[in-house]
Chain A
Amino acid sequence: MGAVIPVFFPLLEKLPKNSRFKKFLRPPGAKAEEEFLRDCIGCGQCANVCPNKCITLYGLEGGLENLATPKINARAQGCILCMACTQVCPTAALEKLEPTPEGKQAVAMGTAFVSEDICYSFAGRTCGVCYHACPLPGKAMTLGLYEQPHVHAEFCVGCGLCEQACVHMPQAIRVVPIANLNERLRKKGIPA
């Protein structure tokens, strides 16, 4: 049996990883998706220390490679960037970050995208809820006419608090995980 298994390794590497499932955000400080999946042992200590319970663990819904790894469903609960999870990871799949302004800026979980066709502010009804939820206001997000949100991708860390706070249903602002981001931009023809 042991001799047969290595024969399939090249085939297993060719499998489309992660492509079939909706991706959620990873906790702050997570390494690049491939590396993160290799490091994470699924112990759940990051979910244990999370003070606002935004980190939950994947079940089988995320496929075998995601099983028991942490995720953040931003619409349910965004990350408050307290960095407690980055301090406890036993395998350093989450790299250590400090809850200082510099540490918060170093987080790269994703980037928020505004759907201008359904956003209240872009329809002329002043809202601005997402701006008031943003932990980096004025940098990651600025307001235009009628409090229209403008996301600045170079500063947005993708914590998901804006998506959680959005009063429109479905949400008019979505955080795209960093693992999806490059694919998405590539599809649009923008270099990552």
Chain B
Amino acid sequence: MRGKIQWLRRAVQISVILMVLITPFLVQYRVLLANNEIEALRRGNNGRFSGKIYLTIDRWMRRPSKEEASNLNSAAEREKVARRLENVRGNVWSAEIFGFSLTDPLGGIESIFASRTVTKALLIGMLIPVLVTLVLGRVFCSWICPAGFLFELTDKMRNFLVKLGIPLRSISYSTLNKYTLLVGGLAMAFFVGLPLLGYFYPPALLGREFHQFADTQFYESLAGASTTGPFLFSGALLFIFFIFLIEITLAGRMWCRYFCPGGALYAILGSRRIIRIANTTSACTNCFECIRVCPMGLNPMATEPGLECDNCLVCLTSCQPGSLSLDFPFKKIIQANGLAKEDKPAQKIAS
């Protein structure tokens, strides 16, 4: 069961990344569909990636039932499908998924600070992320953030390079840096009215870049020729690539640990989280495995995991004696009534 938690986490991360990748193309496909340009696209398709991707989406949309295949040629049916597709839009920064409006609390709070007013739409959008963070802690960083997933790859690459015998530096900064950035950015928004934090917040940048990419592909598919040349992306991906390089060579997980303003906000929101990692010290063998694997560079053996823990549960998975466990308020009551299974790994080792 413990090992499967990490599989679950990877599945969630990958599905979020797929959503971030596919949503921009769905958005552009909706425009093609509403303007009845799919037929023209099919006729003018000369094997370019841009044309292929929209025709592939078209095939998906027509697959569920054979009757709809013919109906999608009628204007009314096209409008119905386009209306349905309108409910999927945005990116991790702010999105709407089948009626659920989701806005990153960082963007929301920045907007509130800059405009000095609170709007209903914003509160509705921030409701679900804030509630989840209050209960589960900083899970956005470890379970959802697509940039976090990319930066986790740097850890693997570092391990690989170390195995090859390449010397890598690992500089550590103060974790207070990210709180300073958050406070500085919010103060900037409040006093000057410039909401700047969204411009160097990797998940927002990634979403924006993919939308830009799908947009260029839209025009390319209609033109049947390249409209942009090889430079599809703007500076934002360069910024992320720059962080990537630094994290591999100089400082492991630099951005998430020390500099991410969004992570800082989630950490503050989740500081009183209900579900925490706890060490039942009786089984602990002081193997220090959890300290070695912790992506945030923390010490899960300590009784209080603290502000920085993002509940990625890597330490829980790696703990061989089964000493670490999830702690929540009603756990003791549940265990006393025999509703929860006892932790088995400890018994296995004993036998």
Q: A60-B234, A91-B122 are in contact. Are A41 and B194 (CB under 8 A)?
A: no
The reply to whether B208 and A91 contact each other, CB–CB distance below 8 Å, is no
| Complex alpha-carbon distance, A68 and B110, angstroms | 15
- Which 7 A-B residue pairs are closest in the complex by CB-CB distance? A43-B94, A38-B114, A41-B107, A48-B89, A92-B119, A38-B115, A9-B191
List 17 additional A-B contacts (Cβ < 8 Å) besides A2-B183, A68-B198, A91-B103. Answer: A9-B188, A13-B191, A34-B193, A38-B195, A41-B93, A41-B107, A42-B93, A44-B90, A45-B95, A53-B218, A56-B215, A65-B194, A67-B199, A89-B121, A90-B94, A90-B103, A92-B121
Cross-interface CB contact of A41 among B111, B180, B235, cutoff 8 Å: B111
- Assess whether A99 is interfacial by the CB under 8 Å rule: no
Task: Identify the interface centre among B35, B107, B125: most chain A CB within 10 Å of its CB.
Answer: B107
**Residues from chain B with Cβ under 8 Å of A91 in the complex:** 103, 107-108, 111, 115, 119, 121-122
16 A-B contacts, Cβ less than 8 Å apart? A5-B188, A38-B114, A41-B94, A42-B199, A44-B211, A45-B96, A47-B211, A48-B89, A51-B31, A57-B212, A60-B235, A67-B199, A88-B96, A90-B103, A90-B121, A91-B108
A35 within 8 A of B: yes
Taking a contact as CB atoms under 8 Å apart, the answer to whether B110 and A41 are in contact is yes
B115 to A68, Cβ gap below 8 A? no
B interface: dominant SS = helix
Chain B CB within 8 A of A37 CB: yes
A41 to B189 CA separation, bound complex (whole angstroms): 11
Q: Min CB distance, B277 to chain A, in Å? A: 30
> Across the A-B interface, how many residue pairs have beta carbons closer than 8 Å?
119
Q: Nearest Cβ in chain B — how far from A30, in angstroms?
A: 13
CA distance A38 to B186 in the complex (A): 12
CA distance A89 to B121 in the complex (A): 8
Q: Does B44 contact A (CB under 8 A)?
A: no
**Is A59 touching B192 in the complex (CB atoms < 8 A)?**
no
Q: Is the CB of B34 within 8 A of A45?
A: no
- List chain B residues, Cβ under 8 A from A12: 188, 192, 194
- Please tell me if B275 contacts chain A, counting CB pairs below 8 Å: no
- Contact residue among A2, A42, A52, A92 (Cβ-Cβ distance under 8 Å from B198): A42
Q: Which of A1, A39, A93 has the most CB of B within 10 A?
A: A39
Contact present for A2 and B93 (CB under 8 Å):
no
Q: Which of B88-120 contact A (CB under 8 A)?
A: 89-91, 93-96, 101, 103, 107-108, 110-111, 114-115, 119-120
Residue A64 at the chain B interface, CB threshold 8 Å: yes
Chain B residues with CB under 8 A of A68 = 198-199, 208
Distance of A86 from chain B, by nearest CB (Å): 11
Complex: how many Å from CA A44 to CA B107? Answer: 13
- Among B108, B192, B211, the residue within 8 A (CB) of A48 is B211
Which of B31, B35, B94, B192 is close to A13, meaning CB atoms less than 8 Å apart? B192
User: In angstroms, how far is the closest chain B Cβ from the Cβ of A55?
Assistant: 11
Tell me the count of chain B residues lying within 8 A, CB to CB, of chain A.
Answer: 48
Complex Cα–Cα for A90 and B204 (A): 15
Known A35-B115, A39-B115, A91-B121; contact A64-B196, beta-carbon cutoff 8 A = yes
A49 contacts the other chain (CB 8 A): yes
Which residue in A5, A38, A44, A60 is a CB contact (below 8 Å) of B193? A38
Which residues on A sit within 8 Å (CB–CB) of B193? 34, 37-38
Rounded to whole Å, the gap between the CB of B118 and the closest CB of chain A is: 10
Measured between alpha carbons, how far is A68 from B195 in the docked complex, in Å?
11
Within the complex, the shortest CB–CB distance from B162 to chain A, in Å, comes to 32
Q: Does A6 contact B (CB under 8 A)?
A: yes
Chain B residues contacting A39 (CB-CB under 8 Å) are 111, 114-115
What sequence of 0s and 1s flags, for each residue 60-83 of chain A, a beta carbon within 8 Å of any chain B beta carbon?
100011011000000000000000
Instruction: Using CB atoms, name the residue of chain B closest to A48.
Output: B89
A73, B77: Cα distance in complex, Å: 31
B187 within 8 A of A: yes
Those of B53-96 within 8 Å (CB) of chain A? 86, 89-91, 93-96
For A57, the chain B residues whose CB sits under 8 A away are 208, 211-212
